[in-house]
Amino acid sequence: MMVYLDGKGKAHPVKAVSGWKKRRAHILTNMQQVTGMMPDRGRRVPLDVQVEEEVRLERFTRKKITFAAEKDDRVPAYLFIPHDLKGKAAGMLCLHQTTKIGKGEPAGVGGLPNLHYAQELAEMGYVTLAPDYPNYGDYQIDVYARGYVSATMKGVWNHMRAVDLLQSLPEVDGERIGCIGHSLGGHNSLYVATFDERIRVVVTSCGFNSFFKYYGGDLTGWSHKGYMPRIAEVYGKDPARMPFDFTEIIGAMAPRAVFINAPQKDSNFLTGVDDCVEAAKPVYALFKASDKLAIVHPDCGHDFPPEVREAAYRFVDRVMQKGR
């Protein structure tokens, strides 16, 4: 982790922040060998937010919207605006798990009560935005016909555009943006924050593992068209051949704040999570930001229970300087 290569391929130990910045740039380059390249800024179009439904509830107004992620591509989302805001609010991007209703679950209109975090954060005074991931909820799209080589990178692009949307709102302080997600949303939160440094804090619940310890190193689950087909096509689903791992992703987040929920009985995302955190700790120490990396191991399965959400929300509040 704490080594970077110079222009001649010679390895150097990372001893300062300047060295880590070089290492981080290499991590992003390596990720894009699997996800495909980040689209250039020329793909951006006006957001052209359109409201399809607006419901005023006790503590917030919930809007069902679509926004333009790129030409001829509109992303459905739920947008929550709290009532009686005193000044500009922090904004939270809220990413859903693998569920047919997509954005509807974090928005609280269906799904599991423990995953209604877009609604809960809005009740706390955050402006929240919950978009659909490609081919979930109301969002059907062939990302490969559009030139992407992974749904993961299309997700990153859409979620960066969602940050654009949050920053465009008069109710939002564009310097205070965070991201939260569970499972599919847990790793998508990390992916977008790795590429988009406007995101100050990430809450990732049941969202990642080291590739070597993911189902004994069998990366089949990461290699289908909903994620990154190159994992199979180019790297043979072999962790040893992969050009990046979540160890690097967590490190690349430094010095920004990351809260990790890794339940003890989660058969999918537990055993290698601590390995990733341990690998990232020297990076956070380099930035004198060790307190910005937090992990909890509740006694439950693949879940985001109330007491863990409460701890995560307190963590986000501290980063956003919003005491509770």
Structure tokens that stand for 41 in this block:
């800024």
Given the candidates 3.90.550.10, 1.10.150.120, 3.40.50.1820, 1.10.630.10, the CATH classification of the domain at 3-320 is 3.40.50.1820
pLDDT (tens digit per residue) in 82-130 = 999 999 999 999 999 999 999 999 999 999 999 999 999 999 999 999 9
Look up residue 130 and give its DSSP letter.
E
* Parts of the chain with a pLDDT under 70: 268-270, 322-324
- At 188 the pLDDT is 99
Structure tokens that stand for 189 in this block:
């939160």
- At 267 the pLDDT is 80
Q: Domain segments of the chain: what residues?
A: 3-320
d(CA 127, CA 90): 6
- At 322 the pLDDT is 59
- At 269 the pLDDT is 63
Helix (H) or strand (E) holding 123: helix 117-123
pLDDT (tens digit per residue) in 170-183 = 999 999 999 999 99
- At 270 the pLDDT is 67
- At 323 the pLDDT is 43
Structure tokens that stand for 289 in this block:
């930001």
Residues 6+ apart with CB under 8 A from 74: 50, 66, 67, 68
- At 5 the pLDDT is 80
Dihedrals φ, ψ of 131, to 5°?
Answer: -90, 160
Q: What is the CA radius of gyration of the chain?
A: 19
